[in-house]
Amino acid sequence: MKLTSCTLTDVGLRRTNNEDCVYADDSNGLFIVADGMGGHAAGEVASAMAVETICSLFPPLSSLPADAANSLKKAFLTASRSIRKVASVEDSKRGMGTTLSVLYIEGETAHLAHVGDSRIYRLRGTDLEQLSIDHSLVAEQLRLGLISAEEARSSQMRNILLQAVGLEDKVDIFLLRQPVLSDDLFLLCSDGLSDMIDDDQIYALLQQTGSIQQAAERLVEAAKAAGGRDNISIVVVKIDD
């Protein structure tokens, strides 16, 4: 499989700094979006530390699928410990953390590892599917049937995370393995995109003709047109024979 990717990150319309961090490496099949949180520049530090840690440990030495999943889990835990260590000794960084969404494509297999409310989507033909789950209070309420999808989108608590890398000793990492097909399109994004436009809009913009870079630009512009309340970060990955 041939991988072609692009990255795009934008501060948005209401923030003065960008706490997101993105990464794409076509040759090694590694793609990352991290959305940091914390006072001052702490969010930027947390997201950058998480991405740096994942990159330092990938690709894994073994190509066995189980080893890739275990390597991802260990990398997430290593990143979380590193962030907590820095936060514990620097007052300005106390309480910092980050979402972390990783896509690792190895041959015809996609390995996903995820914590937080950034997202990983797959567009296959006419089917756009969110492969990751949101580790947020509102998403949990939605899964339990306590609120509707419309109530979830307008909830004042939608930014309350239940999981983040660097905040707790234990991290509940979402892991998933999926087959990769030619013409698949993967989208990794921070909630600066998914909070602003819904899945139908994302699907429509990805389906338009043009390059993946143009698709990423359309998505960012749509999020900004809808209010641009947060940093907007995107990685688009296209699969070819």
CATH topology of domain 2-240: Phosphatase 2c; domain 1 (3.60.40)
Residue extents of the structural domains in the chain: 2-240
Q: What local confidence, expressed as pLDDT, does residue 128 receive? A: 98
Q: Token pair for residue 204? A: 């429509």
Q: For 147-150, which contacts have Cβ atoms below 8 Å and span 24 or more sequence positions? A: none
pLDDT score of 50: 97
Per residue in 148-161, pLDDT (tens digit) is 777 777 777 777 88
**Rounded Cα distance, 240 and 116, in Å:** 29
Q: Which of 140, 141, 145, 122 is nearest to 132 (CA)?
A: 122
Q: 118 near 33, Cβ under 8 Å?
A: yes
Spell out a b/e string for 212-233, using b for 16 or more CB atoms within 10 Å of the CB, else e: beebbbbbbebbbeeebbbbbb
**pLDDT tens sequence across 39-58:** 667 999 999 999 999 999 88
Give the whole-angstrom CA distance, residue 186 versus residue 206.
Answer: 10
Asked whether 208 and 215 are in contact (CB, 8 A), the reply is yes
Per-residue model confidence as pLDDT tens for the chain (241 residues)? 899 999 999 999 999 999 999 999 999 999 999 999 986 679 999 999 999 999 998 888 666 666 888 999 999 999 999 999 999 999 889 999 999 999 999 999 999 999 999 999 999 999 999 999 999 888 778 777 788 777 777 777 777 888 999 998 789 999 999 999 999 999 999 999 999 999 999 999 999 999 999 999 999 999 999 999 999 999 999 999 8
